[in-house]
Each structure stands twice: as structure tokens, then as C-alpha cells.
Amino acid sequence: MNILTFPTNEMLDEAAAGLIASNLQENPFCVLGLATGSTPVGVYSKLAEWNQAGKFSFRNAQTVNLDEYLGLPQDHPQSYYSFMKTKLFRHIDLPGEMAYIPDGSTPDAQEECRRYDRILERNPVQLQLLGLGHNGHIGFNEPDRGLKAGTHIVKLDPQTRQANARFFGSADQVPTHAITMGMAGILKAGTILLVVRGQDKAEIVRRALTGPITTDCPASLLQTHPRLIVMLDQEAGRLLA
């Protein structure tokens, strides 16, 4: 595992976007695994800026997103589809049909999970960007007695709904379930880039990276990945030796 700590948000954004950009430059046909949440927003602005400046192109790339709320139509302002459109897709030259996100409004969510796993199988992720939930979730793989390998439907933890209440007005309005890529889907990526910011994440960063590997902290499974790169701001990294 390679842990890098940055003194400013701007430097962290540039480093994370730089790694994604170099993957695209080396392999314009690469498949990128993307994440939502507040953490990658600055990374996406940098990528959009550099793409518009012609430093690289997304024209031949593909993206697969980690997760989506169940029950939200794509055009709901808080769907992860809308998030990706607003924060990244609308600003870059990625063809619309090359961006995969689970369909949260599907009438058959089980079939949607199987369809998504087929997409992942056909398009192996070269670089997976991840954020980290306060309870150690990645994607929407919540702490549990057991974790699932494939894409599945998950009941969101009350802590997760509370954390995401800021986008919906109140925790009650946050959907109760989501579709998420499973742990095997995430760990299959060639390289994983975990980005975490803020002192409120320092304890979970410590547990995830230096604690025991346990399903109580799904992110701790990242310790088993042969190519894990962690980019932190100083606050998030303050409990690491």
C-alpha cells in the first residue's frame, strides 16, 4: 500500500486527478471505476478542466460507477446519475453510452444487479476511485457479519442515511436501499485509489488501513489489494504513524 498525504485540498485533487489522467494517457481505452460523494468533486473538476484544455480525451474510455440509490429515477436531483452528470460527465468528452451506472429505478433490481455484473465482467476496471464512509463503507458495502462479492441490493445503515441527509433535507428522505458493486467487483480493479479528507474520517482511516481486516470495516479489505494507493489530506491521515 502506498499512502500519500497532502497539505492542501488543491494538491490532493491534482494528485488524484493526475493519476487518473496518466491512466487515460497511457491507455485511452481504459475503464475507470468512479465514485460519488463530496470527496471526488474537486478531482472531477480538475479532470474536466484538463480534458477541456486538451491534455487527454475520454472519447475512447469507459466508466463504471460504484452504486446508485434504489427507487430514485435517473433525473432525480440526488440520484448518483444526476451527480455524475453535473459534476463530471456534462463537462468532458466521454460518450454518454460509455458511462455505466446501476439503474436505481428498475422494476427488477435483482436482474439489474446481474446485468451490472455482466458489464463489469466485460469491462474490467483498470483504476477504481473510492471514497470512504464514516463507518468504513466503500461503495455502499456497509459493515455486516458477511460481505457480498457481486453487485447487490443493500439496506443503508442509519449512519449512512444520516451522513447523506445533507443532500436530501433530512435523513427520512434518503432512500432506504441502494444497488452497489460488491467487494469482489471492487477488489478486482487493477489499481485502487482511495481518497479521504477531513478529521472526522481520521479514525476510520486508521481502522481501515492499520486495523484488523474485518467485515465490520469493509474498507479494511482494501489492505489485501496488491496495488492500493491512498491519498489523504493531513486531517484524515493524522492518526496514522
Catalytic residue among 137, 141, 152, 225: 137
Task: Give 61's contacts (C-beta < 8 A, 6+ positions apart).
Answer: 24, 28, 29, 30, 31, 32, 94, 98
Catalytic site residue 67? Answer: yes
| Contact (CB, 8 A) for 221 and 183 | yes
Query: Which residues of the shown chain bind ligand GLP in the complex (CB under 6 A)?
Result: 35-39, 66-67, 131-133, 139-140, 160, 164
Residue 48 or residue 66: which is nearer to ligand GLP going by CB?
A: 66
The whole-angstrom separation of Cα 241 and Cα 239 is 6
Residue 13 or residue 67: which is nearer to ligand GLP going by CB?
A: 67
Q: Any idea which residue has 456534462 for its cell?
A: 90
Catalytic residue among 13, 67, 112, 117: 67
Catalytic site residue 121? Answer: no
Residue 116 or residue 140: which is nearer to ligand GLP going by CB?
A: 140
Distance in Å, CB of 36 to ligand GLP, minimum:
5
The values of phi and psi at residue 191, to 5°, are -135, 145
Distance in Å, CB of 168 to ligand GLP, minimum:
12
Distance in Å, CB of 75 to ligand GLP, minimum:
19
Catalytic site residue 51? Answer: no
The whole-angstrom separation of Cα 157 and Cα 239 is 25
Distance in Å, CB of 212 to ligand GLP, minimum:
21
Nearest to 216 by CA among 231, 204, 226, 227: 204
Catalytic site residue 108? Answer: no
Catalytic machinery residues? 67, 135, 137, 142
